[in-house]
């Protein structure tokens, strides 16, 4: 018989609410990949495996429907199914942050409400896209979203997908101080901006939880100051990230750097596919590696992303073998 | 008693199907603005006025839910309402192209089916956004969309909203030759690319209807070769665009240039608002002008776009008065 | 005995000054290519041929040391040699505009003075590069240059080589009104900006001569209004450009469009080389075509630009043959 | 009486050559500002003060004529004067790396030879600019430069000034392996690229000395691995950078982070000027601070960079006072 907490998201959330728990949002929240069957439909069994793989690997939480989860390619119905399935399988073991990527606030709020109903403990929201807005309008976008949903909101700073739009540290800390956002996922690759964000957040009394989207410089980001990380590559190797996190947060920098360098040599898989688009390259390499490692049934990505050529799969495999990830 | 053709989109489409009509998609298809009440809800009465204003002004068709229609800010439900209302009011007098802006093919197909059900005679589709794709993947994106909907598909080339993604002429003509797309709306601002598209389309037997999104160089675009235009500013002054179209397509270039220069002096309204985001500037100026001209009840834009300061409204008004549009 | 006007630039300029002539700067000013010997040294004989080819082909002036002249790859000494040689060969038959590309005003002034001494009738100057400046600083840059040289200054708007820096129409017309600049060479590819520049210049009493750097839409630019054009491809086919210019400026638009379309089919040579950098592609195609047409002794480009592979040369040749340029 | 080694650059270099010294290029090489008199001429006395300030502050070397040295605004003659003066004053106490910024290889070689004659121990060279080149052409650019000068060449990766051109780690390590370049100054702000460069350089036997151009994340860069740093802000506060370097390189990360955070609070001066161009903002703030600290006679920048408004000077001063740099 299923326990109450994993039978349905509604009950789980009621239970959490009753005990006044609120997730602390700290540590590693990998963006969960969305495995597909060969026919392109979502492979919920593999998805369940991935959830266990991640939680058993020591992850502190899960980031559902991130860019790595190929959220852009999923219909609204599929998004709800993915959240629901992950919430069921996670069964309250770790908190869930859920990406609610859509063009503008009115649409994000709809995504957010569905996400909360399906089990989100917090939602992750970008600046508007397709729309063209300036800084104050973007700040109001977050205010509108926060007013429309009932869980903490994280701002997701991801210029590479948003035509270069970057969230200013001043704005983020202001929104944190207002209680509009609870944290930031920084995938901007702008380490100066990040360092200023850390400093300004600290000066403001740390209203924000700061997460980095980096995979290759997590040791450095912990050194600079962060509350968590969202490394897509943790889908492949969660254990090393957890060891890195534990070493870095305990001040054992030699070990942290060493682990980071080991992870980076594994992460070279993403530089192996050639001549593909951004999503087919990086996320394709992740899925290919996970398939080779037996974690998911197929490396299939959503249409129109093509299958990876055998030669590139071989190159990915070579990295996995060379680094000892694949025996 | 309503005539059958304007009572409901279904009937209208049935009727069209029965008579084997298919729109020729030629001439001016202005992107219809979406008027709002002061409280932010859609002002369907004003929307109806705008439809009449445009059709009475000589427009050959309507482009519903374009960027100018603030499509990015509307929920899926609102999008359907807008199409439905415009289809009812247009009542088959002109064809409707409907923008189905969404991130990827699976989502666009859903938008497209709803649009067709609500009265679209053709749909307008951009490259994927938020997603990161290369050229062949983008071509497949259009193939997936076309396979999923039952009306002609226009490709919408709008790099400014898509992080700089530009649709290559070669790809567009290839998709035209395959029967995947029926036309292109070019808002790229790349006149060399456009000229090559015209030449390649002609060499391929003109499978594509070529529309320009320009407002200020329509005379030149007709000279270079086009099948139509989608000028947002035609919401303000449709009659001048129609006269320009008629002059240019009949070879009266002196008149065409003169009309274009007059339109351009009116179009200066979009350079008047200062310190606002892209949508609040250009579309804000359109709505402000339409409000001043009595065409819509309010210049209100969707949240988080702010109201235009009185000073900028005055500057817009001054242009309208100075050019004789507003008496 | 040499006539005074072609014996030396100094005399020529004295002569001009005495008769109070000042060039009108109107019509076609092709950017002269800089031919090289196979060993990379400047081929002054071929350069002389090119000058005759252009002047005999009906060009109204010459633009020396433009981007097409590979100015960036030439040392200061070579630049002077090129100007001197062209001035000697042109022998006052047409005016010379000379590009003085350098990073900032102090350096441009030095380039400009050398250019004037070597025979320039006017100089062409970009915004600063490598340096990072805003609009008012860029305006002052032009003011500094104009104060430091004794010939008319043309502003060269070429964002593709300047990290996207675009010269604003308002600034250009202001500088024209001040007498700082005499004209603009617009290679921005921004036709809306160009159209506004035409309108604002006209409203200000036409202080500026407006030249377009376009090759493929010259008919349209004449329609919109211009005083001249700087088509690099005129090095290959000056006669067609002259016929286009004459047709368009006399209002024979059908002929103008037809000539433009013929030119554009020839211009497809620049889309044939693959996998090369920008300069090796476009300028490489020009030089290859000129070599195939017997106008220059070698298609060689300055180091590090590589020789064009035989396959791409063949593709260029095929275009030339197919369009009838090469018998 | 002056010692032989500081009387003239020629002798100094002969002396160095004779003793077979070659600089190790390690540690902090601040990019020396170029102080100006109020009339815009170079203030060589202040320049001498700055050299002593930096060497006395513990700097391991000097980077002459970097972007911070406003190299783009100096004529060729001024560049030589600056190198000569710094070489005289440094008098062999520390090695000199000299920036040879120019458009293409032929021009850079000329800059490089002048720099070597004036006292450079190594030169710093960017990818071509104004020119448009691809990766292999850029690699050949460095090969041409290295073949033309007689001192070690550092590649300077500075996309923000080069229209976004980024030097690939693979190319840099390849050039290092070939002996073409001796090191890299990375000002790309791309920490993932930098981390890969560190890894690839190490795997290749460390042919390259890796310097970072960062000011705000030097602790993190040392953690990731580097041989040196080029912080412009060290002109203002060299001592703190030296303490940071010593702490970080000895593994005292708590101290390193604490010093970095102190430096960063000082570095906020560069975010105080408003509405100015890039050079007038950052370098203007440096010069203003140095002037307030009595290190240079004037905060003057080269034309057309404007004087900083009193309000912004006050804001800079406030930071200096607030952080204790200015008593």
Q: Which among B107, B136, B163 has CB closest to A164?
A: B163
Reply yes or no on whether the pLDDT at C9 is more than 50: no
Q: Which among B129, B160, B164 has CB closest to A129?
A: B129
- What is the model's pLDDT at position B24? 83
Instruction: Count CB neighbours of A139 within 10 A.
Output: 24
- What is the model's pLDDT at position D142? 98
CB contact under 8 A, B106 and A303: yes
CB contact under 8 A, D224 and A219: yes
- The C-alpha atoms of residue D310 and residue D288 are separated, in whole angstroms, by 11
Mean pLDDT of B297-321: 98
pLDDT tens per residue, range C18-35: 334 567 899 999 999 999
Q: Which residues of D183-220 are buried (b: 16+ CB within 10 A; e: fewer)?
A: bbbbbbbbbbbbbbbbbbbeeeeebbbbbbbbbbbbbb
Mean pLDDT of C272-298: 97
- The C-alpha atoms of residue C131 and residue C119 are separated, in whole angstroms, by 29
| C70, C279 Cβ separation under 8 angstroms | yes
**In terms of CA atoms, which chain A residue is nearest residue B75?**
A107
DSSP helix/strand/coil, A244: helix
Reply yes or no on whether the pLDDT at D16 is more than 70: no
| Higher per-residue confidence, D18 vs A57 | A57
pLDDT tens per residue, range C225-261: 999 999 999 999 999 999 999 999 999 999 999 999 9
Q: How many residues does chain C have?
A: 327
Q: Which residues of B are annotated as a binding site for pyruvate?
A: 68, 230
Residues in A closer than 8 angstroms to B302, CB to CB, are 104, 106
User: Phi/psi at A184 (nearest 5 deg)?
Assistant: -135, 135
- What is the model's pLDDT at position A1? 34
Distance between alpha carbon D185 and the CA centroid of its chain, in Å? 8
Tokens of B102: 């969404």
The H helix count followed by the E strand count for chain B is 13, 8
User: What is the pLDDT of chain A when averaged over all its residues?
Assistant: 93
Q: Which among B101, B132, B134 has CB closest to A161?
A: B132
Write the ipTM.
Answer: 0.93
Catalytic residue, candidates D14, D29, D185, D194? D185
Q: Please enumerate residues of B whose Cβ is less than 8 A from a Cβ of C.
A: 189-192, 195-196, 199, 214-217, 219-221, 223-224, 251, 253-254, 257, 261, 264-265
Reply yes or no on whether the pLDDT at D6 is more than 60: no
- What is the model's pLDDT at position A22? 67
User: Phi/psi at B151 (nearest 5 deg)?
Assistant: -130, 165
Please report, for chain B, the start and end positions of each structural domain, with discontinuous segments joined by +.
Answer: 27-252
Mean pLDDT of D32-44: 98
| A187, A169 Cβ separation under 8 angstroms | no
- The C-alpha atoms of residue B130 and residue A73 are separated, in whole angstroms, by 10
Q: Which among C101, C141, C304 has CB closest to D130?
A: C101
User: What is the pLDDT of chain C when averaged over all its residues?
Assistant: 93
CATH superfamily of B27-252: Aldolase class I (3.20.20.70)
Reply yes or no on whether the pLDDT at D3 is more than 70: no
**In terms of CA atoms, which chain B residue is nearest residue C193?**
B216
Q: What count of CB pairs under 8 Å joins A to D?
A: 67
Q: Sorting pLDDT into bands at 50, 70 and 90, what band is B21?
A: low
pLDDT tens per residue, range C147-200: 999 999 999 999 999 999 999 999 999 999 999 999 999 999 999 999 999 999
Tokens of D34: 């170029």
User: DSSP label at B188?
Assistant: S
Q: Sorting pLDDT into bands at 50, 70 and 90, what band is D24?
A: confident
Q: Positive or negative CA dihedral for A110, A113, A115, A117?
A: negative
Reply yes or no on whether the pLDDT at A54 is more than 80: yes
Tokens of D9: 């650059």
Q: Sorting pLDDT into bands at 50, 70 and 90, what band is D21?
A: low
| A144, A110 Cβ separation under 8 angstroms | no
Reply yes or no on whether the pLDDT at A267 is more than 50: yes
Q: What count of CB pairs under 8 Å joins A to B?
A: 131
Mean pLDDT of A226-253: 98
- The C-alpha atoms of residue B295 and residue B274 are separated, in whole angstroms, by 24
Residue from D131, D160, D308 whose CB has the most chain C CBs within 10 Å, to mutate: D131
| A192, D217 Cβ separation under 8 angstroms | yes
- What is the model's pLDDT at position C24? 83
Mean pLDDT of D84-94: 98
Tokens of B113: 């089916």
CB contact under 8 A, B104 and A144: no
CA distances to C38, D35, D37, D41, D270 from D47, in Å: 46, 6, 11, 12, 21
**In terms of CA atoms, which chain C residue is nearest residue D274?**
C134
Reply yes or no on whether the pLDDT at B16 is more than 70: no
Tokens of C252: 């024979």
Catalytic residue, candidates C156, C194, C272, C287? C156
Q: Positive or negative CA dihedral for A100, A103, A106, A107?
A: negative
- The C-alpha atoms of residue B51 and residue B59 are separated, in whole angstroms, by 10
CB contact under 8 A, B279 and A161: no
CB contact under 8 A, A72 and B104: yes
Instruction: Give how far B217 is from chain C: nearest CA, Å.
Output: 7
- What is the model's pLDDT at position D71? 98
* Distance separating the N- and C-terminal Cα atoms of chain B: 37
| C176, C210 Cβ separation under 8 angstroms | no
Mean pLDDT of D226-254: 98
Instruction: Give how far B60 is from chain A: nearest CA, Å.
Output: 27
CB contact under 8 A, D161 and C136: no
Mean pLDDT of B97-104: 98
**In terms of CA atoms, which chain A residue is nearest residue B73?**
A104
Tokens of A287: 């899925």
Q: Sorting pLDDT into bands at 50, 70 and 90, what band is B41?
A: very high
Q: Which among A131, A162, A302 has CB closest to B73?
A: A131
pLDDT tens per residue, range A25-44: 999 999 999 999 999 999 99
pLDDT tens per residue, range B82-94: 999 999 999 999 9
Q: Please enumerate residues of C whose Cβ is less than 8 A from a Cβ of B.
A: 189-192, 195-196, 199, 214-217, 219-221, 223-224, 251, 253-254, 257, 261, 264-265
Q: Name the residues of A annotated as catalytic.
A: 156, 185
pLDDT tens per residue, range B105-154: 999 999 999 999 999 999 999 999 999 999 999 999 999 999 999 999 99
DSSP helix/strand/coil, A258: helix
Residues in D closer than 8 angstroms to C276, CB to CB, are 134, 137
Tokens of B166: 């530009």
**In terms of CA atoms, which chain B residue is nearest residue A279?**
B132
**In terms of CA atoms, which chain D residue is nearest residue A225?**
D257
Mean pLDDT of D95-124: 98
Instruction: Give how far D280 is from chain C: nearest CA, Å.
Output: 7
User: What is the pLDDT of chain D when averaged over all its residues?
Assistant: 93
Is position D194 annotated as part of the catalytic site? no
* Residue entry with tokens 């200015």: D326
Reply yes or no on whether the pLDDT at B5 is more than 80: no
- What is the model's pLDDT at position C23? 79
Catalytic residue, candidates D156, D194, D209, D241? D156
Could you give the angle at the alpha carbon of B131 between the alpha carbons of B127 and B134, nearest 5°?
A: 60
- The C-alpha atoms of residue D283 and residue D277 are separated, in whole angstroms, by 10
- The C-alpha atoms of residue A209 and residue D105 are separated, in whole angstroms, by 48
Nearest to D296 by CA among D29, D71, D44: D44
Instruction: Count CB neighbours of D250 within 10 A.
Output: 10
Q: Please enumerate residues of C whose Cβ is less than 8 A from a Cβ of D.
A: 67, 72-76, 78, 101, 103-107, 110, 128-134, 136-141, 143-144, 160-164, 275-280, 302-306
Tell me if there are at least 3 CB pairs under 8 Å linking chains C and D.
yes
Query: For chain A, which chains pass the contact test of at least 3 CB pairs under 8 Å?
Result: B, D
- What is the model's pLDDT at position A283? 97
- The C-alpha atoms of residue A281 and residue A305 are separated, in whole angstroms, by 9
- What is the model's pLDDT at position C21? 57
User: DSSP label at A130?
Assistant: S
- What is the model's pLDDT at position A10? 35
CB contact under 8 A, B164 and A162: no
Mean pLDDT of D161-172: 97
- The C-alpha atoms of residue B284 and residue B292 are separated, in whole angstroms, by 12
Distance between alpha carbon C152 and the CA centroid of its chain, in Å? 15
- The C-alpha atoms of residue B86 and residue B83 are separated, in whole angstroms, by 5
């Amino acid at each position: 018989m299923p326990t109450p907490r994993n039978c349905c998201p509604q009950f789980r959330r009621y239970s959490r609410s009753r005990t006044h728990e609120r997730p602390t949002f700290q540590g590693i929240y990998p963006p969960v990949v969305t495995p597909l069957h060969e026919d392109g439909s979502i492979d919920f069994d593999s998805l369940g495996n991935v959830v266990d793989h991640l939680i058993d690997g020591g992850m502190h939480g899960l980031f559902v429907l991130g860019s790595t989860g190929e959220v852009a390619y999923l219909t609204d119905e599929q998004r709800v199914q993915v959240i629901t399935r992950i919430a069921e399988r996670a069964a309250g073991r770790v908190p869930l942050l859920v990406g609610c990527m859509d063009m503008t606030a009115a649409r994000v709020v709809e995504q957010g409400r569905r996400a909360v109903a399906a089990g989100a403990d917090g939602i992750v929201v970008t600046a508007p896209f397709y729309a063209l807005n300036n800084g104050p309008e973007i700040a109001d976008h977050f205010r509108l979203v926060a007013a429309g949903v009932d869980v903490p909101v994280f701002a997701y700073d991801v210029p590479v997908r948003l035509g270069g739009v970057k969230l200013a540290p001043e704005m983020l800390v202001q929104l944190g101080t207002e209680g509009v956002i609870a944290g930031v996922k920084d995938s901007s690759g702008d380490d100066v901006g990040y360092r200023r964000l850390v400093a300004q957040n600290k000066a403001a009394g740390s209203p924000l939880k700061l997460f980095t989207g980096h995979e290759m410089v997590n040791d450095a980001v912990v050194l600079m100051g962060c509350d968590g990380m969202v490394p897509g590559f943790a889908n492949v190797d969660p254990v090393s990230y957890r060891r890195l996190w534990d070493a870095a947060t305990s001040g054992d920098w030699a070990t942290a750097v060493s682990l980071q360098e080991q992870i980076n040599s594994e992460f070279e898989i993403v530089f192996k596919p050639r001549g593909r688009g951004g999503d087919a390259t990086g996320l394709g390499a992740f899925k290919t590696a996970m398939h080779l490692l037996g974690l998911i049934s197929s490396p299939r990505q959503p249409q129109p992303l093509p299958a990876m050529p055998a030669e590139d799969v071989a190159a990915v495999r070579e990295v996995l073998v060379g680094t000892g990830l694949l025996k």
